[in-house]
Amino acid sequence: MSCWAILQGVSYIKVHYGCLALPQRFVQDRRVMLIVNDITYRLGARTLFDKASATIPTGARVGFVGRNGTGKTTLFRLIRWELGSESGEIQLSRGFRIGSVAQEAPGGPESLIETVLAADTERTALLAEAETAKDPQRISEIHIRLADIDAHSAPARAASVLHGLGFDSAAQLRPCSDFSGGWRMRVALAAVLFSAPDLLLLDEPTNYLDLEGTLWLMDYLARYPHTVIVISHDRDLLNQSVDQIMHLTEGKLRLYKGGYDNFEKQRAEEQEVQARFAKKQAEERKHLEAFINRFKAKASKARQAQSRVKRLEKLKMITPIIESDVVPFEFPSPERPLSPPLIALENVSVGYNEKPVLSRLSLSIADDDRIGLLGSNGNGKSTFAKLIGGRLNPLSGALKKSSKMTVAYFAQHQLDELTPTGTPYTHIRALTPEASEAHTRARVARIGFSGARADTPITSLSGGEKARLLMGIATFNGPHLLILDEPTNHLDIDSRVALMDAINDYDGAIILISHDRFLLESCADRLWFVGEGTVKPFDGDLDAYRAKILETPTSQKSDRKADSASGGDPIRPTKKVNPGSIKKKIEATEQRMQKISDLIARVDAVLADPDTFKKDPEKAATLSRQQAELHDSLAAAEEEWLTLTNELEERA
């Protein structure tokens, strides 16, 4: 696949301008990157932009927000000159390059590193010309230019970007065709980031990333040296990575200084002020109309009445800012709660084709747990979710759960499982075949499809609407355990807040997999790390996890495993170690683990006696601290044991 296919729009502006006879002009002031000047654009009967204007300075990092369907992606297409506006113009700095990710991901035989390097079209062209150039003067010019653009460090820079997005050294040498669509989209994103365009346009770049990739991208964008406009519904990204927010509403664009929290605060203040002015104006209008109606027929008051008519005509209508309501999510809670734990795992291993992906799982889930799963894609989060959800059986160990427990499972790939010829009504009707039509439509309305929207064809629903419908179907009967795998990918910010409210109102247990840090912080009470072949509680909050991801040197980070389209195994480097010494270390670690476990059991027995706290509160407090320290020591020993056993397995 050519670089052009990956970097749609990455080229010199004059190329575009020469190809399309549109009214765009160039900005002469180098301090300004982009001017949107009074553009109007309609899509059918809908007016997406109504004399909208905005000025983006050079070097600005702008978060572009607005409800789904308002026209954010359309503005990107207007900026890239793929569409022409009905009126107004878009001005761009002359000679600057625009970069964005094409919708079609690369999938050819080229390796990932070759695909990303090809994004630098100038370097590629110069290197090709250097192979055939004969003129000494031209050869000298080529090598000077290659030095100017730091061409020799390009492979290292490309590898760094790929690594940040989840590709280890071995994966970078594999062809694009080896990877699934989501991973190839990461390659396309890596290519456009590596090319470092003067104006970077990103449309929901975190949709195909895990939390680790999202954290890396947030840090990368915060340090990006050129102009960025990013469409995103990720509140954390909009707070950490941008310095301005551009809001699209009612066909108008407006820029706000600061991140999303600051924008939300300013927006609320504007709503309050405008509502106050609207109320005051309504009272004044009512007073003027009352005077006119009372005295317009009296000759003695005719002049005063006429002056008030003129004043009323000049009184500009002020309407309060009213955001369209977000339909709430509703997750029915289980009718009959079950006694905890819902699920208990004892030394469980799980995987595919008798080959474990995760092992040594000894965990329990209570009836009201809110658990957020951390870990890179490919480390086994979905495998663990399938185990808990009953879609995979353990390969070994014991998994205990109540026979009465019901589980709801939502994953993004299920969007394709909806019947294309159906509607929200027909899907819910299939769950309630004996209910009356009125009752069924009431249930459909509670999910978020009231009135005529209940009969909307599935093919006409947006991604967010399909996700809403699938969540409603999954939770229809009030499950005891709800598993949500990337539930926010197609939801705007307000809908994400509605989802958070539904999760927090739900009385059952939840397993949450998400790259949305704000969602995890708002809804998860416990964090479990999935990695290194197991699942274990994470000792710390998301700030600590972010620091762990970003501050660990690249050379010391554990290589992430990118799932290939064929589900192939990750490539691990072979370590030259002495198996005998590893076995001795494993035995010593096992003995230490046993001693710590015995101590924990003795402390637990003492603390289990209620009289301990009554007779000697200080001793009880000391024992409680020791209990926590022992658990930490056991966790560290278990991690060491796991590392050693992995080394031994790799050696074998």
The string of pLDDT tens digits covering residues 389-411 is 998 999 999 999 988 899 999 98
Give the residue-averaged pLDDT of 188-193.
Answer: 93
pTM comes to 0.70
Share above pLDDT 90 across residues of the chain, in percent, rounded to a whole number: 37
Q: What does the pLDDT read at residue 310?
A: 66
Do 533 and 523 contact (CB within 8 A), yes or no?
no
Give the residue-averaged pLDDT of 627-646.
Answer: 72
Q: What does the pLDDT read at residue 614?
A: 64
Handedness of CA 574, 577, 580, 582 (dihedral sign): negative
The string of pLDDT tens digits covering residues 303-321 is 666 666 666 666 655 444 4
pLDDT bucket at 107, cuts 50 / 70 / 90: confident
What is the C-alpha separation between 37 and 52, in angstroms, rounded?
A: 7
What is the C-alpha separation between 474 and 418, in angstroms, rounded?
A: 12
Q: What does the pLDDT read at residue 219?
A: 92
**Which is higher by pLDDT, 331 or 627?**
331
In the predicted model, what is the mean pLDDT of the chain? 81
Share above pLDDT 70 across residues of the chain, in percent, rounded to a whole number: 79
Give the residue-averaged pLDDT of 26-42.
Answer: 84
**Which is higher by pLDDT, 612 or 458?**
458
The string of pLDDT tens digits covering residues 405-454 is 999 999 877 777 788 889 999 999 999 888 899 999 999 999 989 888 89
What is the C-alpha separation between 318 and 337, in angstroms, rounded?
A: 52
Q: What does the pLDDT read at residue 560?
A: 42
- Token pair 């654009």 is found at 41
Do 439 and 431 contact (CB within 8 A), yes or no?
no
Q: What does the pLDDT read at residue 652?
A: 60
pLDDT bucket at 576, cuts 50 / 70 / 90: very low
**Which is higher by pLDDT, 13 or 599?**
599
Do 511 and 385 contact (CB within 8 A), yes or no?
yes
Q: What does the pLDDT read at residue 428?
A: 93
Which amino acid belongs to residue 618?
E
Q: What does the pLDDT read at residue 369?
A: 92
Backbone angles phi, psi at 610, to 5 degrees: -60, -30
Whether cis (ω within 30° of 0) applies to the bond prior to 341 is yes
What is the C-alpha separation between 407 and 382, in angstroms, rounded?
A: 15
What is the C-alpha separation between 546 and 438, in angstroms, rounded?
A: 49
